[in-house]
Amino acid sequence: MFIQEHNCETGEITQRELNAKEIKQRQADEKAEAARQAEAEIKAAKKQAILDRIGLTADELKTILG
Amino acid sequence: MPTTTNYGWTTPADTDLVKDGASAIRTLGTAIDTTTKNLNPETTLGDIAYRSSTSNVKTRLALGTAGQLLQVNSGATAPEWATIQTGGMTSLASGSIASSATGFDLTSISTSYNDLILYMRNFSISTTANLLIHLNNDTTSNYWFINDEFASGTASTVAGNGETKVRLTNTISASRDGLSAYFIIYDYKNTTAFKSYEYYAIADYNKFAFGKGHFNDSSTLAITRITATASTGTFDSGTYELFGVK
């Protein structure tokens, strides 16, 4: 994995491998992203389960709340 | 002595003697020469002439320099060449994002400006991901923001509560072409206060997010480095341009 580095002072553009800190950060970002998406999916599933239970669609609920 | 209608050149009268003809022609010729020169003061390639305050006398305006435009002077009395005003934005760095790069890292950013604006255009990421920004390579919990997110007709607000990066997007679709984003940092060179920023990022034709926040930078350093990365996957394409704003 590499990142493109652009030195704004010299204009030099290089490609370098991620350093240890960046790899660690990327792993943390990936993990956080996966958790965020999983949480969003769980939230959406919970919402849908409630809608199913009360027999309304999301649009119908919006109309009631709107 | 009779004169011509337009330029008042003196011409011989019908009753003048033939012997005075040479002198009369010489006088007329001199007058024509003087008038012609007055009407054509240009001396050098690219010169232009404009009317002066004296009738039949034009003023020479020498050619300007490359890129200059013709404008009216401050007294609104004459034209002049002027250097184009650039609008206060200076491009500090621009380039294409290398295919398969995890992102790009803008380093050694000048502190000669007031604000920074980063544009990203036509970018695409290989997998479902988000666009992340780090400032000064800081990966600690220094990023506070509010994201207003829109996805397929549903709007929501997400709080970035002491995050380790700014998340500009609400899940970019894999290999979606034509995405764009901007990120502005205000007063980025101050060394005494938190830096605030705002942004707008498109994640798909029906998904976008915009937000504002601040960088809780206790090190009181100016922002001299901006790193934009995909949270996962790599860039397929795209360009970036960083501007300094005076």
* Whole-complex ipTM: 0.77
**Residue B84 near residue B71, CB atoms below 8 Å:** no
Q: What is the mean pLDDT of residues B131-160?
A: 92
Which of A1, A3, A18, A27 to mutate to test binding with chain B, by most B CBs within 10 Å of its CB?
A3
Q: Is B180 on the interface with A (CB under 8 A)?
A: no
Whole-angstrom distance, CA of residue B113 vs CA of residue B109: 10
Q: Which of A1, A8, A13 sits opposite B102 (nearest CB)?
A: A1
CB contact under 8 A, A4 and B103: yes
Query: How far apart are the CA of A51 and the nearest CA of chain B, in angstroms?
Result: 16
Whole-angstrom distance, CA of residue B146 vs CA of residue B210: 8
Mean pLDDT score of chain B:
93
Model-level pTM? Answer: 0.70
Give the residue on A whose Cα is nearest the Cα of B97: A4
Query: How far apart are the CA of A32 and the nearest CA of chain B, in angstroms?
Result: 9
Q: How many CB atoms lie within 10 A of CB B146?
A: 13
Q: Which of B108, B227, B232 sits opposite A33 (nearest CB)?
A: B232
Whole-angstrom distance, CA of residue B187 vs CA of residue B179: 27
pLDDT higher than 80, residue B116: yes
Chains A–B, number of C-beta pairs less than 8 Å apart: 74
Whole-angstrom distance, CA of residue A8 vs CA of residue B102: 19
pLDDT higher than 70, residue A66: yes
Q: Which of A7, A18, A29 sits opposite B231 (nearest CB)?
A: A29
Query: How far apart are the CA of B239 and the nearest CA of chain A, in angstroms?
Result: 12
- Paired tokens of B130: 């988000």
Residues near A43 by beta carbon (within 8 Å), at least 6 away in sequence: none
Q: Which of B92, B139, B164 sits opposite A8 (nearest CB)?
A: B92
Q: Which residues of B touch A22 (CB under 8 A)?
A: 102
Q: Is A6 on the interface with B (CB under 8 A)?
A: yes
Q: Is B173 on the interface with A (CB under 8 A)?
A: no
Backbone φ and ψ of B73, nearest 5°:
-70, 170
Beta pairing class for B143-151 and B166-167: unpaired
pLDDT at residue A11 in the model: 95
Which of B94, B133, B158, B232 to mutate to test binding with chain A, by most A CBs within 10 Å of its CB?
B232
pLDDT higher than 80, residue B217: no
pLDDT higher than 90, residue A25: no
Q: pLDDT of B228-239, one tens digit each?
A: 999 999 999 999
pLDDT higher than 90, residue A40: no
Secondary structure (DSSP) of chain B = --B-TTT--B---TTS-GGGHHHHHHHHHHHHHHHHHHH----STT-EEEE-SSTT-EEEE----TT-EEEE-TTSSSEEEEPPP-TTEEEEEEEEPPTTEEEEEEES--SSSSEEEEEEEEEEESSSB-EEEEETT--SS-EEEEEEEEETTEEEEEEEEEESSEE--S-BPTT--SEEEEEEETTTT-SSSPEEEEEEEEEETTEEEEEEEEE--TT------EEEEESSS-EEEEEEEEEEE-
pLDDT at residue A41 in the model: 87
CA dihedral A38, B198, B93, B123 (to 10 degrees): 40
Give the residue on B whose Cα is nearest the Cα of A9: B108
Q: Confidence band (pLDDT; 50, 70, 90) for B226?
A: very high
Query: How far apart are the CA of B74 and the nearest CA of chain A, in angstroms?
Result: 37
Q: pLDDT of A46-62, one tens digit each?
A: 988 999 999 988 888 88
- Residue where the block lists tokens 């002439």: B49
Q: Confidence band (pLDDT; 50, 70, 90) for B87?
A: low
Which of B207, B229, B241 to mutate to test binding with chain A, by most A CBs within 10 Å of its CB?
B229
Burial of B209 (0-12, 13-18, 19+ CB in 10 A): buried
Distances (CA, A) of B215 to B137, B160, B225: 12, 11, 13
